[in-house]
Amino acid sequence: MSESNNGLGLSEFFQQITKANQQFVEQFVKAVPQQSPDVATNPYANIFSGFWQNASQLSQLQNQLYQQQMQAWQGVIGQTTGEPTKDKRFAAPEWEQFPFFSYVKQSYLSTTKWMMDLVEKSQVDDAQKEKMRFFTKQFLDAMSPSNFALTNPEVLKLAADTKGESLVEGMKNMLEDVQKGYITMTDESKFEVGKNMAVTPGQVIFENELIQLIQYTPTTDQVFDRPLLIVPPCINKYYLMDMQPENSLIRYIVSQGFTTFLVSWKSANEEMKHLTWEDYLNLGVFKAIEVVKAITGKADMNAMGFCIGGTLLTTALAVLRAKGDTSINSATYLTSMIDHSEPGPIKVYLDENMVRLKEMSMTEGGVVKGKELAAVFSSLRANDLIWNYVVNNYLKGKTPPPFDLLYWNSDGTNLPMPMHTYYLRNMYIENNLTKPGKMELCGVKIDVRKIDIPVYLFAAQEDHIVPWKTAYLSTQYLTGPQRFVLGASGHIAGTINPVTTNKRNYWVNDQLPASSDLWLQGAQSNPGSWWPDYSNWLGALSGEKVAAPKTPGNRTYKAIEPAPGRYVKARAE
């Protein structure tokens, strides 16, 4: 199509469409009745009820969209070229080489921007806008032309080059994943827990219906006499901390001379469907403390909690403080929250109605599937953790490369519904951990401000699960000596930053102002892994060096099986 003196030019054509559409919108606005209160509770309805009050703003947004679409169409017919994009979904040269696909890409990106602008300019409160922003992006990401065979030039070219074999392999991959119930993110045949993952030597020296307790084999002639008890997340398998020898935090801690014990949580089954948060304390944390004291003969120990393991540890410490129990000498929190007022993107899934429905359905208990929990966390980064694999595995028929972290990510655990719902209600919905006396556990009312032992808090700068500024708020509730350390990268890569690679950096600041921004302004950046900093801090709180024990356990708690044990090897159904 070209400009012509005898007819409308392309620019005039789109301008007339835009003008006609503006008139249509204005007429429609006048005819729309006032929104009812019931409709107004729907945030998406509220977008439009707000815009109906300001038709010119909606018309302006529509005009912008038409202009962008016109530019994309002009690119197809050769009048202009599409602007390059840094979006990795469209990074392949095929998206620019073929005019049709260039148009599809530009049209999609324009529409995406238009819809997100519509959300940003909607007349709703911040909480509603945040949910709308998230779920609109979820929809737009799902509808990307890169996710469909017929609108993805890379997929079509590969299908032609392989004479359709790539599509056949993709169908096989999809059918296998349907059987498994989750998207394959790595070549799972390359990994096996206990063979090339979770291989730090040790023995299971205690087990009950909820936990196995592992005592790790010393690798030094002498060890600190005060032991360390690690409470990992119960939502995921603990071996995130013991992936492979070169990136194992557990192996590193043991190599520094610390007498190390670790709780391995059992994935919940139907027999465990009634277990509560209090059960996770009594059968888990408190039982582990009892066994560690019996084996080592020490009256106290240091403790570490990772993510939700840190939340469990916090409630355990608060109970111990309320009872006058001094079994824990110091606490370490890795990417964990006390104050849940700003939990990051996950809060779009959490509201009063959702939790109330769960509470109403759990009179007979129940199990929250690990696959469901994993899907929720993957959706927070859908392009990277969902659609990337849909395209690679199903449309291109490829097998993803082996990656230990993604193998772990697919190996989730189930949780008992009473325990899970208590967690959502008291931490995320009501933020009760920050309210003295609001929570009662194990027969006592708890107050985290009574936790006055030395504490090491680690957070990760780009963490989207436990935002570092929210993790920093813990410093305002705990009352003992504290060290706050901020690592680079995200929830996992920031924490698992081994000294063997010594990548990235971390920040330290001995001052703890109320503002996290002020803390960062005064912080010093240090190159490499934060692990040696932690080892130095923990060493000063771990007592004297003594000869390493020659055998695990004692007469009462004997070795049951080698680490990593049966519980962590079992795949959740």
Angle between helices 165-180 and 153-161 (to 10 degrees): 110
Question: DSSP string spanning 226-279?
Answer: S-EEEE--SSB-GGGGGSSGGG-HHHHHHHTT--EEEEEEPPP-GGGTT--HHH
Report the length, in residues, of the chain: 573
What is the pLDDT of the chain when averaged over all its residues? 86
Please report, for the chain, how many H helices and E strands are present, in that order: 23, 17
Reading the block at residue 271, the tokens are 């027999």
Q: Is 133 helix (H, G, I), strand (E, B) or coil?
A: helix
pLDDT on residue 60: 56
Q: What domains can be seen in the chain, in order of their start residue?
A: 10-161 (no CATH), 202-343+414-569 (3.40.50.1820)
pLDDT on residue 38: 43
Count of Cβ atoms closer than 10 Å to residue 548 Cβ: 14
Count of Cβ atoms closer than 10 Å to residue 185 Cβ: 21
Listed in sequence order, the DSSP H helices in 323-439 are: 352-360, 370-379, 382, 388-389, 404-409, 417-423
Query: pLDDT by residue (tens digit) across 33-44?
Result: 433 334 444 555
Question: Rounded CA gap, 507 and 486, in Å?
Answer: 5
- Taking 60 as the threshold, does the pLDDT of residue 174 lie above it? yes
pLDDT on residue 452: 97
Distances (CA, A) of 487 to 386, 456, 482, 490, 497: 26, 13, 16, 8, 9
The amino acid present at 503, given as its one-letter code, is K
- Taking 80 as the threshold, does the pLDDT of residue 396 lie above it? yes
Question: Rounded CA gap, 322 and 315, in Å?
Answer: 11
pLDDT on residue 42: 52
pLDDT on residue 21: 43
pLDDT on residue 12: 52
Give the chain's end-to-end CA distance (angstroms, integer): 58
Query: pLDDT by residue (tens digit) across 397-432?
Result: 999 999 998 899 889 899 999 999 999 999 999 999
- The residues facing 505 across adjacent strands are 527
- Taking 50 as the threshold, does the pLDDT of residue 2 lie above it? no
pLDDT on residue 43: 53
Distances (CA, A) of 196 to 189, 213, 404, 407, 432: 11, 21, 10, 12, 41
Catalytic site positions: 307
Q: Which helix (H) or strand (E) holds 298?
A: none
Query: pLDDT by residue (tens digit) across 176-197?
Result: 988 888 889 999 999 999 999 9
What percentage of the chain exceeds 70 in pLDDT? 85
Q: Is 507 helix (H, G, I), strand (E, B) or coil?
A: strand
Query: pLDDT by residue (tens digit) across 428-453?
Result: 999 999 999 999 999 999 999 999 99
- Taking 60 as the threshold, does the pLDDT of residue 463 lie above it? yes
252 with 280: CB under 8 angstroms? Answer: no
Interstrand relation of 482-487 and 455-460 (parallel, antiparallel or unpaired): parallel
Least confident of 134-138, 259-263, 267-271: 134-138
Query: pLDDT by residue (tens digit) across 301-343?
Result: 999 999 999 999 999 999 999 999 999 999 999 999 999 999 9
**Nearest one of 193, 192, 214 to 202, comparing CA atoms:** 214
Residue in the structure block whose two tokens are 């570092």: 468
pLDDT on residue 140: 87
Reading the block at residue 380, the tokens are 């927070």
- The residues facing 236 across adjacent strands are 412
Distances (CA, A) of 294 to 206, 269, 289, 297: 12, 30, 9, 5
Query: pLDDT band at residue 83, thresholds of 50, 70 and 90?
Result: low
